[in-house]
Amino acid sequence: MADDADLLDQRRNDLVTLFIDDHPMARALGMEFVEGDWNRVVCRLPMRDDLTFREGAGLAPGVLLTVLDGVFGLSVCMRVPVPQAIATIELKIDFIEDARTDADLVFTGECYAIADNVGYARGEITRQGDGGLVAGGSATFMLGTRGPTFFTEAAGEGA
Partner 1 sequence: MTVCLPELERANDLLAASPFAHWLRTEAVEAHGRIAVRMHVDEHHIGNPFLRAVQGGIVASLMDYAASLTLSLYLGRAELLRPLSVNVSYLRSVRDRDCLADAQIVRLGRRVATLTTRAWQDDAEKPCAVSQYTFVLS
Binding site for partner 1 (CB under 8 A): 23-25, 27-29, 49-55, 59-63, 65-70, 73, 85, 87-95, 98, 147-150, 153, 158
Nearer to partner 1, 34 or 65 (CB): 65
- The nearest distance, CB 55 to partner 1, in angstroms, is 7
- The nearest distance, CB 71 to partner 1, in angstroms, is 10
* DSSP secondary structure letters along 14-81: HHHIIIIIT-HHHHHHT-EEEEE-SSEEEEEE---GGGBSSTTS-B-HHHHHHHHHHHHHHHHHHHS-
Nearer to partner 1, 10 or 101 (CB): 101
- The nearest distance, CB 121 to partner 1, in angstroms, is 12
Supply angle C-alpha 85, 138, 151, rounded to 5.
20
